[in-house]
Structure 1
Amino acid sequence: MIRINSITLLSVILFLFSALAGTAQDLIPTTRVSKGKLIAPELNEVSGVIASDANPGSFWMHNDSGDKARIFLVDSSANLLQIVNLEGVIAIDMEEIGKFKRDGKNYLVLGDIGDNRGLRKDIRLYILEEPVWEQGGKKENLIKSSQIQTIILNHDGRARDAEAFFIDPLDNRFFLISKREFKSIVYSADIFQDVEKHILKPLITLPFTFVTAADISPSGDAILIKNLTNIYYWNRALNESIQHSLSKPYKRLAYQQEPQGEAITFDNSGKTFFTVSERPFGLDSYLYQYNFSKPQN
C-alpha cells in the first residue's frame, strides 16, 4: 500500500513539473538507447554523472546525500569498474560532478552543493586530478587528502539549494544553477581565484524551476540543463558568453522521463548525451544514451 501511494505521489510531482514547463519551445527529436542497468549495490542513489576524459568510454558517478565521500567509475554498459574514496572529505549533500582541463591534466570537481533545508552558510567543491583505471586494476582506490583541493562557495550570506553546475571549457569559469526558486537562477564564480571564500554572483534567471543537473559540451558550443521532466538545450555561438547564451530562447529535447532523473552528461564528442536516474521506491536505474536525430551544430 505504501509503495502504491509513493509511486502515485511521484506521478503527481512529475505532472506538476510538466505543467510548470510552460509553452514548449522547438522540440528537438532524439532517440534513446538503454546501455545497461546499474546493478552494483553501491550505486543506490546516483545524483551526478560526467564522461571520463582519462578513461574514454567510461563515466564518473556519485550518490546523493547519505553516502560516503566517494565516486564510481562505470563503463558504457553500466558496469562498476572502480570505487574511489576521498580521504578527509565529509560528505553532506553531494549533488553534481563536473570536470575541467588545466596545464595538460584532467580534473574532476565533486560538488557538495545541496541544501534541502536552506541551512548551509557555505557549500563546497572538491577538486582532484582524474584517476586513471587500467583493465584488471583494483576495485577500490583512495585519493589522499593532500591531493584534494577544497573550494568554499557562498551565496553572499544567503542559503540556496542547488543540484547542478558546469565549468566552461573555454575559460574554466564555474556556473551553478539553483533549484528551489520558482525560476532557477544561474550563478557564476572564478573558483581559481586565491581567496578564502568565493562569492557566487547571480547572472540570469531561467524560465523554469527544480533544476537537477547540467552539462556543457567539451568544445563549449552547447549547454544542457535538466529538471525532473524536461531537458533544455542551447547552442552557443563563437565568442558568446554563457550569460548571453542562456538569455536566448531554449529548445526542449525529446526526453522519456525517468523515475527520478538527476544526472546528465555529454559524451566526449559533444554529439550525444547520457542520463542516469536515482532508485526511488526500489525502482531500477539505467544508463541511457540519447542521440540527436539531426546534427545540432
Structure 2
Amino acid sequence: MRIAAALACALMASLPLSAEARVCKAWSSPVLAASIAAKPIDEASGLEASRTHRGRLYHNNDSGDDLRFFITDMAGGNLQIVNLKGPKPADIEEMSLGPCGSKTCLYLGDTGDNAGARSEVAFTILAEKKTYAQTETPLRVVRARYPDGPHNVEAFAVHPGGDLFVVTKPVDKQMTRPGPASVYRLSASQLRQTDGVQVFTKVGELDLPGLLKDLPFYGWIPTGLDISHDGKRAVLLTYMAVVELGFDLAGGVPAKLTPGENVSIFRAPPLAQQEAITLLPDDSGFLYDSEAGRKAATFPLNKVTCMAR
C-alpha cells in the first residue's frame, strides 16, 4: 500500500498543474488572411471568430463610432452592419464572445478611457444569432467600476465559465511610463445584473515590461485579449507582440511569467496600431488586425498558427 501510494504521489507530482497548459513552442510566420475594406470598419479595434457560425467574423470600431458592430466572412466579404438600440457609447475598444446562461453572447466593451477620468464603464450584451436584423435590442447593459479608480482598458474577454476579465492599459496620460498591467474580473453573476454599478475584483498583475524588456514601452501595452474554448490559455495582443498565457485566468495570475513555461511570445514586424485579436475557432492559432483603415482603402488581417506544443 505504501509503495502504491508513493507511486501515485510521484505520478501526480510529474503532471502539470491543472491551472496551466502547454504553451506554443513554435509559431508560424504571419500570413495575410484577408484585406478588409476600410469603409465602414475604419478603426478596427475588436475582433471575434464565431465558433457557432463557422466562417463568421465580428468587428467593432474604436472611439467615436455608434453603438454597432460589423459581420464579415473570413475573407472580409459579405459585410453586414448591425446597429444596437441604446445611447452612443464613449469608447468601445473591444468585443468578446462568451456564455450568457444557456446562450452564447456578444459582449461589446465601452471601456476606453485615455484620460483616466471615467467613473464607470459598460458592457452591452447581445445574444449571438444566425441572422441579425439591421437594428437589434441588446439583452442588457452592465455598468461597472474599478475598486481603485479609473483604468484605461482595450483588452477584455469572457471566460467559458462566464466570468469577464479585463487587462488594463497601464500608461499615464502622456503614454510614456507604462508599468505592469492589472487584471480584473466581473463574475458571471455580476454580468446578469441590470441594476446598479458592479465592482470589479482585482485578480493579479502581468509584468509585461519585465517579460518584454527588449521592446520599447509601446510593445508592453495590451490592446486585445481572447480566451480559449477550454479556458486554459489566452492570447494577449500588444502593439508589438502577442503573449500566449498558458494558464487559466480563473485560477489567478502567476507571480512570475516565464517564457517556454507559462507564457509563449510571438514576435513579428507589427501591423500599424494592431489592436484586435481572436483565437481561431479550433484554438490552433489566432487572427489579428490593424486600425490602419483611416489611412488606407483596406486594412490587413493576419493569421498565425501554432506549429508545435
Specify the TM-score bucket, using the shorter chain as the normaliser: 0.7 to 0.9
In structure 2, distance between residues paired with 1:271 and 1:293: 9
1:108 aligns with 2:101: no
Aligned to 1:243: 252
| TM value normalised by structure 1 | 0.81
1:292 aligns with 2:306: yes
Correspondence 1:15-164 to 2 at 5 A: 28-133=26-131, 141-144=134-137, 147-156=138-147, 158-164=149-155
Aligned to 2:203: 203
Change (3 A) 1:132 1:256: farther
Contact 1:183 1:207 in 2 (8 A): yes
Deviation at 1:27, TM superposition (A): 7.0
Contact 1:261 1:275 in 2 (8 A): yes
In structure 2, distance between residues paired with 1:280 and 1:246: 38
Aligned to 1:276: 289
In structure 2, distance between residues paired with 1:129 and 1:26: 32
Contact 1:40 1:80 in 2 (8 A): no
Change (3 A) 1:225 1:174: same
Correspondence 1:191-230 to 2 at 5 A: 191-193=188-190, 194=193, 196-208=196-208, 209-230=220-241
Deviation at 1:180, TM superposition (A): 2.5
| TM value normalised by structure 2 | 0.78
Q: How many pairs are equivalent?
A: 261
Contact 2:239 2:274 in 1 (8 A): yes
Q: What CA RMSD, in Å, does the superposition of the two structures yield over aligned residues?
A: 2.3
Bigger Cα Rg? 2
In structure 2, distance between residues paired with 1:126 and 1:84: 13
Aligned to 1:8: none
Contact 1:46 1:277 in 2 (8 A): yes
In structure 2, distance between residues paired with 1:246 and 1:265: 26
The aligned amino acid for 1:180 is P
In structure 1, distance between residues paired with 2:188 and 2:233: 22
1:12-52 CA-to-partner distances (Å, cap 9, x unmatched) read xxxxxxxxxxxxx9974323221211115101000000112
SS at match of 1:68: coil
Deviation at 1:74, TM superposition (A): 1.3
In structure 2, distance between residues paired with 1:127 and 1:281: 27
1:184 aligns with 2:193: no
Structure 2 stretches of 5 or more lacking a match? Answer: 1-22, 172-178, 209-219
Structure 1 stretches of 5 or more lacking a match? Answer: 1-24
